[in-house]
């Protein structure tokens, strides 16, 4: 099975599991009168919807560039992750206000006797899926699977919190038991929200064509020097950006005028192959030149008096 087919298979399998737990959790929250249980179920339902969309996004980013998107569809991956995470963060805020309102109005009792087995099963399944998705996300170099793994870890932590709230509520037989569910809801909202905000910031940076980590940049430079070592050359500059799993780099090399185009093309081909061995989703453009003065003219030019593009 190819990596693409394996990723799609994983996405579909996870969707079915997530939707089943979402329906079960939402229905059980009605009978148990638990807001934290409702949060657990709604979280899974929303996740199942977005997991289905992630399959569509995966097919998009593997498409060839066309007339409408001449540089490809790579930006759709971080854009999708930003939208999904923003909606989950909005759900957090909605339940935050609901929990605060419940606490300030006297709280409520939770009927959790028949829900505890469900939460135990949910914890086992969520943490198992998290481990599988994290491993496959690293192996397949898939930001989508990595993002899904974080969601399943969050879902597992929610289930743990819900289970704890039910156990505490069943052990307590006083007024404090009315506030347990709301307090637990507040705890995992505050615990999860910073991570969701971090995901939004990271993927927004990628939407704006930010560079990858310094580790990636250093590795790219090392590959360039290693591959071109037999040549007499000077690495003038390189630029690199990252969107989701896709990266784009333009490398400018100054070489001796005596080198023929055929020889330079052979090194260009070798360099592209070496880079693709490390990053399959890297779009590479290697430019050899005898005279690099033209580089200053290759970007936008500005009228410094008006600050407008000429």
Positions of the chain with pLDDT lower than 70, given as ranges: 1-2, 111-114, 173-174, 297, 299-310
Percent of all residues in the chain with a pLDDT value above 90, rounded to a whole number: 12
Query: Tokens standing for 227?
Result: 């591959």
**What does the pLDDT read at residue 113?**
65
Q: Distance between CA atoms of 249 and 110, rounded to whole angstroms? A: 56
**What does the pLDDT read at residue 217?**
92
Task: Please give the full DSSP string across 183-204, using - where no structure is assigned.
Answer: HHHHHHHHHHHHHHHHHHHHHH
Domains of the chain in sequence order:
3-207 (1.20.1510.10), 214-309 (3.30.70.1350)
Nearest CA among 4, 12, 45 for reference residue 28: 45
**What does the pLDDT read at residue 265?**
92
pLDDT in tens, 88-124: 888 888 888 888 888 888 877 776 666 778 788 888 8
The DSSP call for residue 264 is H
């Amino acid at each position: 099975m190819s990596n693409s087919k394996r990723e799609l298979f994983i996405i579909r399998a996870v969707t079915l599991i997530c939707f089943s737990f979402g329906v079960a959790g939402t229905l059980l929250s009605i009978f148990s009168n638990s807001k934290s249980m409702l949060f657990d179920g709604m979280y899974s339902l929303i996740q199942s919807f977005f997991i289905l969309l992630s399959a569509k996004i995966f097919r998009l980013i593997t498409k060839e560039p066309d007339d409408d998107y001449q540089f490809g569809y790579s930006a759709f991956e971080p854009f999708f992750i930003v939208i999904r995470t923003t909606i989950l963060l909005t759900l957090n805020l909605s339940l935050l206000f609901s929990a605060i309102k419940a606490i300030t109005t006297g709280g409520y009792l939770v009927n959790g006797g028949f829900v505890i087995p469900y939460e135990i099963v949910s914890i086992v399944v969520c943490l198992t899926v998290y481990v599988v998705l994290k491993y496959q996300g690293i192996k397949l170099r898939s930001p989508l699977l990595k993002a899904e793994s974080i969601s399943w870890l969050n879902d597992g932590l929610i289930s743990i919190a819900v289970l704890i709230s039910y156990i505490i509520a069943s052990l307590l037989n006083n007024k404090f038991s009315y506030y347990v569910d709301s307090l637990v809801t507040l705890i995992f909202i505050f615990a999860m929200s910073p991570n969701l905000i971090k995901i939004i910031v990271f993927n927004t940076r990628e939407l704006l064509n930010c560079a990858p980590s310094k580790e990636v940049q250093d590795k790219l430079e090392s590959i360039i020097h290693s591959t071109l070592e037999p040549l007499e050359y000077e690495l003038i500059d390189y630029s690199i950006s990252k969107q989701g799993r896709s990266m784009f780099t333009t490398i400018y090399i100054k070489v001796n005028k005596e080198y023929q185009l055929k020889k330079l093309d052979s090194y260009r081909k070798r360099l592209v192959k070496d880079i693709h061995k490390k990053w399959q989703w890297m779009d590479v453009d290697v430019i050899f030149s005898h005279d690099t003065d033209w580089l200053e003219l290759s970007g936008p030019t500005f009228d410094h008096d008006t600050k407008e593009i000429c």
